[in-house]
Structure 1
Amino acid sequence: MSAAVTQAPAPVVQATRPTTLLAADRSSTSSVQSSETLFDTDAKLDHTSHKPWKHFGFHHHHHHDSRNSSKESVAVVEERSASTKRGATFWASFKYLNNLTPKQVDDFMASYVIYNLDWEDEPAMIKALGPNYKQKVGDSLRAYYGVMNHLCALGSVEKMYIPPLMDKHVSVLDNQLLYEESIARDLGLKPGDRVLDIGCGRGRVAAHMAKYSGAQITGINIDPNQLAQAREWNAQQGLSNTFVERDQNDLPLPFADASFDAFYQIQAFSLCKDLPAMFREIYRVLKPGARFSMLDWVSLPAYDPTNPEHDALMRRVKPLIGAVGTPTPAGLEKALTDAGFQVTRSDNASVGGLQAPLIDKVDVYFRAVRQMILGLVRLHVLPKHFKTLINRLCLDGQAFVKMDEMRLISTSYRIIAVKPKEEAASA
């Protein structure tokens, strides 16, 4: 696809102040309440002082100030997010997984070979996958996501990412919403803005972003299964977001110069073969003055690939988080600067720089689900491939927690940048 995607005008959305747009989604249960069912039995909110929120769908947000430890409760009645109904999503994904063919299961398991490789080591890529290794990686990713997005939807990581720890008092799903709202603020999104989202998944982030800000999102993803769900869900929400099937490694991007007012991505660049080329393309399709937001996985300065313990942990964690590349903050910043961007923020978005509390919540939940599934397989209630899938999903979650606590890696590293309004002559 080489032509730019044409979009319909953005829907009219009443603008609100982002700092107070924190009401729970009334289209189902509240986002915090629904995800507490899965993750937060050990970390309940303080319902003694916030009971009206619990019963009437209000959400409270803690404003932290080092000079003032008091808490301010904000209760508003506007819809906060475009969250799905958890029960319906769970059963839809459960039925899909139940009906997988043996080939789909085999292809999913075989896809993990790419996570033992690294874009930086091309000889190893060619040895394992052949000279057309980029195409083989794409094929593996389609097989991987064709199953993984449904496995993740069995819990509250339907969006397929563990968010930064924004507020330790609320659930994993609510931390996702809080982070996504911070993206909208960092980008300065307003109604009618055109925004590019690479690695859009099922389009749930795009839907939330559109409802929160009034912007119109164009999402790119390699997996037709997820894109079909994204189109259906966004249409049900009355949104005109657009979704394009595209391998992010197939450059140039299919858009004209200066097509977008902003760009964001969440944990997709670890699958990008050539980040400098990708950043140049994003720079090209953004308007002067447009802002850029990314959240991704990085290895941190404390990580030492010559340390046997570090290396062993990395080999366990990369397949778990689905990472081919191993970028560093410094490498990302340099690639952005070389492309012409001005980096305005580069930090770990998690409170205290640790994502581990949320990683552990997800790991504990899925390990509990694993025990239930294994029991049902033994009773012949579920097909045997459920055992294969859930064992693979639950492998090495605690290694992920350990690397985060050792501050060797993070999947919550944030960079904000801007395309200058007046481009340098060299750019």
Structure 2
Amino acid sequence: MSKSGALDLATGLGGKIKKQEVQSAVQQYEKYHVCFGGDEETRKANYADMVNKYYDLATSFYEYGWGESFHFAHRWKGESLRESIKRHEHYLALQLGLKAGMKVLDVGCGIGGPLREIARFSSTSITGLNNNEYQISRGTELNHSLGLSDSCNFVKADFMKMPFADNNYDAIYAIEATCHAPDAVACYKEIYRVLKPGQCFAAYEWCMTDNFDPNNQIHQRIKAEIELGNGLPDIRSTTQCLEALKLAGFEVLSEKDLAADSPVTWYLPLDTSQFSLTSFRLTPIGRFITRTMVKALEFVHLAPAGSERVSSFLEKAAEGLVEGGRMEIFTPMYFFLAQKPVSDS
């Protein structure tokens, strides 16, 4: 099951990075970002290293505070965060028309929480593509513990260079993952290549909305904080995302920012003005306890040096996400459903 204790957090922190090298990895990761003198072109040129370091450093925190599915969700009043996350995943499966016997690809699958939920919901066989060794090891462990090893598996590879044959999958989806791509068109072209003609690709993308003003310094600061705290080379606009799909060859069947009409704000779990027993570890008190605990674990050498700095930039990211959500300049759930033309065979 998902790691939930303090020692689980401490022992998992750093992923596959040697514990004595975690602090150095944190410093190297930070230097990619604007706040520490980095720039967009360097992040794009070194995206694989940057994203791998990010998930080695952050995965243990994500699993501790968020569970197995590392994403936001459209949420109804009276609905718990966990319920909304499952429904968000089911919605994607229904939009793709997934059914038993289909061969499905999850691009950028994390530790496989959505993959397992969608496989059970749709009775499909799902392969999770991930370039982070630590996340794959955790996902494989969870698949086995839940008896899903036969229907769910992982492949370690870069989604910009997939090791799959052309026209290989019946459906492909990505949940808040392809935002890590340094080039959206090239990423979508690779997804297009491995998808069978006539079949669909659906995703939730992280995007800046039309309200974002690149000349507004506050908007720029918020964008930079989100990039730093989430391992992103850049955050595209919804318009750029849509254009990239079309340039890759897809026919866009539908698209919508699901955050725009969510009855409960998507950033509620990170909002320090709110309190929730069901998401206690994400509340101000819960985050304070986590921060204090990490500091103590680092002090007694149960957590590697640099752990508190990871906690710090993740908290900064949470602040940026909440600000971006309140100002409606950022969305983590720009949804689209796109089809590869039947004629492309």
TM-score normalised by L of structure 1: 0.69
Structure 1 residues 349, 109: CA separation in 2 closer, same or farther (over 3 Å shift)? farther
In 2, distance between residues paired with 1:195 and 1:378? Answer: 41
Once the two structures are superposed, what CA deviation does each residue of 1:143-184 show, in whole Å capped at 9, x if it has no partner?
2211210111111244332x1232232232222111001111
Structure 1 residues 302, 125: CA separation in 2 closer, same or farther (over 3 Å shift)? closer
Please report how far the alpha carbon of residue 102 of structure 1 lies from its aligned counterpart in structure 2 after TM superposition: 2.9
The higher relative CO (CA closer than 8 Å, separation ≥ 6) is in 2
Larger-Rg structure: 1
Structure 1 residues 337, 365: CA separation in 2 closer, same or farther (over 3 Å shift)? farther
Instruction: Tell me which amino acid in the other structure corresponds to 1:403.
Output: G
Please report how far the alpha carbon of residue 340 of structure 1 lies from its aligned counterpart in structure 2 after TM superposition: 2.3
Please report how far the alpha carbon of residue 271 of structure 1 lies from its aligned counterpart in structure 2 after TM superposition: 1.3
Once the two structures are superposed, what CA deviation does each residue of 1:191-241 show, in whole Å capped at 9, x if it has no partner?
111111111111221111111111111111111011111122213333222
**Helix, strand or coil for the counterpart of 1:201?**
coil
Contact 1:373–1:386 (CA<8 Å) still a contact in 2?
A: no
Structure 1 residues 183, 125: CA separation in 2 closer, same or farther (over 3 Å shift)? closer
Unaligned regions of 5+ residues in structure 2, if any?
272-278
Once the two structures are superposed, what CA deviation does each residue of 1:46-77 show, in whole Å capped at 9, x if it has no partner?
xxxxxxxxxxxxxxxxxxxxxxxxxxxxxxxx
Please report how far the alpha carbon of residue 275 of structure 1 lies from its aligned counterpart in structure 2 after TM superposition: 1.5
Aligned partner of 2:217 in structure 1 is 308
1:229 pairs with 2:149: no
Per mean C-alpha deviation after superposition, the further-off stretch among 187-196 and 314-323 is: 314-323
**Helix, strand or coil for the counterpart of 1:394?**
helix
Aligned partner of 1:272 in structure 2 is 181
Please report how far the alpha carbon of residue 87 of structure 1 lies from its aligned counterpart in structure 2 after TM superposition: 4.0
Contact 1:165–1:351 (CA<8 Å) still a contact in 2?
A: no
Instruction: Tell me which amino acid in the other structure corresponds to 2:323.
Output: K
Contact 2:230–2:317 (CA<8 Å) still a contact in 1?
A: no
1:23-38 to structure 2, matched below 5 A, reads: none
Contact 1:108–1:140 (CA<8 Å) still a contact in 2?
A: no
Please report how far the alpha carbon of residue 282 of structure 1 lies from its aligned counterpart in structure 2 after TM superposition: 1.4
Structure 1 residues 219, 365: CA separation in 2 closer, same or farther (over 3 Å shift)? farther
Aligned partner of 2:343 in structure 1 is 422
In 1, distance between residues paired with 2:8 and 2:141? Answer: 14
Instruction: Tell me which amino acid in the other structure corresponds to 2:141.
Output: E
- Decide which of 223, 228, 232 is 1:319's aligned counterpart: 228
- Decide which of 58, 61, 64 is 1:154's aligned counterpart: 64
**Helix, strand or coil for the counterpart of 2:109?**
coil
In 2, distance between residues paired with 1:326 and 1:381? Answer: 36
In 1, distance between residues paired with 2:302 and 2:27? Answer: 19
**Helix, strand or coil for the counterpart of 1:395?**
helix
1:31-46 to structure 2, matched below 5 A, reads: none
Contact 1:269–1:296 (CA<8 Å) still a contact in 2?
A: yes
**Helix, strand or coil for the counterpart of 2:66?**
coil
1:206-217 to structure 2, matched below 5 A, reads: 206-217=115-126
Once the two structures are superposed, what CA deviation does each residue of 1:94-121 show, in whole Å capped at 9, x if it has no partner?
333399623123203421333439xxxx
Aligned partner of 1:373 in structure 2 is 293
- Decide which of 193, 201, 211 is 1:292's aligned counterpart: 201
In 1, distance between residues paired with 2:193 and 2:235? Answer: 25
In 2, distance between residues paired with 1:212 and 1:237? Answer: 14
**Helix, strand or coil for the counterpart of 1:219?**
strand
Please report how far the alpha carbon of residue 418 of structure 1 lies from its aligned counterpart in structure 2 after TM superposition: 1.6
Contact 1:206–1:219 (CA<8 Å) still a contact in 2?
A: yes
1:358 pairs with 2:269: yes
In 2, distance between residues paired with 1:282 and 1:380? Answer: 46
1:245 pairs with 2:165: no
Contact 2:75–2:266 (CA<8 Å) still a contact in 1?
A: no
Instruction: Tell me which amino acid in the other structure corresponds to 2:25.
Output: D
In 2, distance between residues paired with 1:167 and 1:417? Answer: 26
**Helix, strand or coil for the counterpart of 1:344?**
strand
Contact 2:23–2:307 (CA<8 Å) still a contact in 1?
A: no
TM-score normalised by L of structure 2: 0.84
In 2, distance between residues paired with 1:379 and 1:223? Answer: 28
1:104 pairs with 2:22: yes
Structure 1 residues 263, 399: CA separation in 2 closer, same or farther (over 3 Å shift)? same
1:82-161 to structure 2, matched below 5 A, reads: 84=1, 87=4, 91-97=7-13, 101-116=19-34, 124=39, 128=42, 134=45, 136-161=46-71
Structure 1 residues 365, 158: CA separation in 2 closer, same or farther (over 3 Å shift)? farther
1:399 pairs with 2:310: no
Q: Report the identity percentage.
A: 24
Contact 2:176–2:204 (CA<8 Å) still a contact in 1?
A: yes
Pairwise CA RMSD: 2.8
In 1, distance between residues paired with 2:145 and 2:229? Answer: 32
Once the two structures are superposed, what CA deviation does each residue of 1:351-409 show, in whole Å capped at 9, x if it has no partner?
62542223326363652333542674698586564433322321252332121111111
Please report how far the alpha carbon of residue 414 of structure 1 lies from its aligned counterpart in structure 2 after TM superposition: 0.9
Contact 2:259–2:331 (CA<8 Å) still a contact in 1?
A: no
1:171 pairs with 2:80: yes
Please report how far the alpha carbon of residue 274 of structure 1 lies from its aligned counterpart in structure 2 after TM superposition: 1.9
Aligned partner of 2:108 in structure 1 is 199
Instruction: Tell me which amino acid in the other structure corresponds to 1:141.
Output: V
In 1, distance between residues paired with 2:184 and 2:291? Answer: 40
Contact 1:203–1:219 (CA<8 Å) still a contact in 2?
A: yes
In 1, distance between residues paired with 2:206 and 2:224? Answer: 15
**Helix, strand or coil for the counterpart of 1:168?**
coil
Structure 1 residues 348, 381: CA separation in 2 closer, same or farther (over 3 Å shift)? same
